[in-house]
Chains A and B, each alone.
Chain A
Amino acid sequence: MSNTQTQILMIGIAYAVLSAAAAHAADSTTIPDFSSNGVGWRVAGNVDNTGLAEVPEDPGNGYISHHPDWPYAQNVVNRVGDFTNPNLKPWAAGVLEERARKVMAGGIPFIPNSRCWPGGVPGMHFFPASVFYLQNEDQVWILNNRGEVRRVFMNVPHSEGPGYSWYGESIGHYEGGDTLVIDTMGQDDKGPIDRYNTPHTRQLHVVERHTLDAERMNVRVVATMVDPGAFKVPLKGMINYGWSTVRGSPEPAKWEEYVCNENSDEYFIPEEELVPVPSATRRDF
């Protein structure tokens, strides 16, 4: 071999070795680091404010979007859910239609995050908030600055009869060196699965894949929602997280306490048109 050829060969071998090393470092034993350097993950790049976006490699997957005659436009057209979506069972389509018609007639839609209600799964992931992941060997905590906390128990099966709660019971494991897979059951039937208040039952079973990109600056959350009581097929949607700024601040969002209930009085809208914020009148203790 000539010197040049040897050099090329050596470079080629070196490249192959380094690639293999990099591939090995990102293999299935690697645990993805969602800690985002103290910066809060925020929803980025969802185009039309539906809450969920189409999964690129799985288009036409049936998440509920806006009614075709009522394209959502902020401050102009309120959210009207597509009750004609063929993936909804008749009773669910009926409930969604009732909610939609109220808005079409000039009513104010119920927006859970505006009225300080819990988001549940996957709801809390499309609420406007800064999201943080905490990881230890037994658990992952996903929390946001609205006070919502999800606890994911790692590498264990679901318990018998976890009951029903706002966030259900989540179990998880890591895959492929870059993905956190979460399986959630036991949510009550009141939480939002999209921004149109599409109804669901307690049978809702959500599987999410949270995939961290190589630069650790984006998380792609793909949620598959199975509910044989409400949907004919699994609904699937995507939420993108990135590092983005908040309210004109030049810096990516860090932890900042946000207490929804402190500013939930709507002085300009008649009280009877709004769903009340969660509140209490009698002491528990």
Chain B
Amino acid sequence: MNIKTIMFGGVALALCGAATAVYAHHSYAMFDESTKQTLEGVVTEFQWTNPHGWIHVEVPDAQGETVVWSIESGAPAGMARQGWRPTTIGPGDEIEITFHPLRNGNPGGSYMSVTLPDGTVMGNPELD
């Protein structure tokens, strides 16, 4: 039985009381990988770190307030393979970002693709 079965198929009997208390640190189960979301906004910070990086983007909401979305990206090695460098984006850059959203609806997700200010598309914006 693999983890996905346990997660989507309900709680297995062997895990008495495990319920829904899943600790989310570094767990990709917290993202809905069957859907994607795309937002436009301004980069506030691009963290090029291990074991994964972060792209923080300020996005205006329906009320005109700005919300900072935190999108978790891959580690430097994986990002570099797509052509990323630590300086590819930085604070103030206007980007479009596509990601698997958090299941709980909070402003965050896991990185799929970014369209840079000059129109270059990094990563893969399509659900495969």
Contacts and interface: CB of A to CB of B under 8 A. Distances in A.
B24 A76 contact: no
Interface string B1-33: 001001100000011111111111101011000
Nearest to A105: B21
A264 B54 CA distance: 12
Contact of A267 (B3, B21, B108): B108
B45 to A, nearest CB: 10
- Size range of the chain B interface in the assembly: 20 to 34
A263 B54 CA distance: 9
A106 B23 CA distance: 8
B64 interface: no
Given A70-B18, A106-B21, A266-B25, A75 B3 contact: yes
A182 to B, nearest CB: 30
Contacts of A74: 3
Given A69-B16, A247-B75, A268-B70, A76 B52 contact: no
A268 B71 CA distance: 10
B24 A268 contact: yes
A71 B72 CA distance: 29
B47 A73 contact: no
Nearest to A108: B23
Contacts of A90: none
Contacts of A249: 77
A109 interface: yes
Most-contacted residue by chain B among A103, A111, A266, A267 (CB, 10 A): A267
B30 A109 contact: no
Contact of B50 (A69, A77, A263): A263
Instruction: Describe A's contact surface by its main secondary structure.
Output: loop
B49 interface: yes
Instruction: Describe B's contact surface by its main secondary structure.
Output: loop
Nearest to A256: B50
A107 interface: yes
Given A73-B3, A109-B23, A247-B75, A268 B106 contact: yes
Given A75-B29, A76-B15, A77-B15, A263 B24 contact: no
B119 interface: no
A109 B21 CA distance: 11
Contacts of B25: 108, 111, 114, 266, 269
19 contacts: A70-B18, A75-B23, A76-B18, A77-B18, A78-B21, A78-B23, A104-B17, A106-B21, A107-B21, A108-B23, A108-B25, A109-B23, A258-B50, A263-B51, A263-B54, A266-B25, A267-B54, A267-B72, A268-B70
Given A76-B3, A267-B108, 13 more contacts: A69-B16, A70-B17, A71-B14, A76-B22, A77-B18, A106-B20, A106-B21, A108-B25, A247-B51, A247-B77, A267-B70, A267-B72, A268-B108
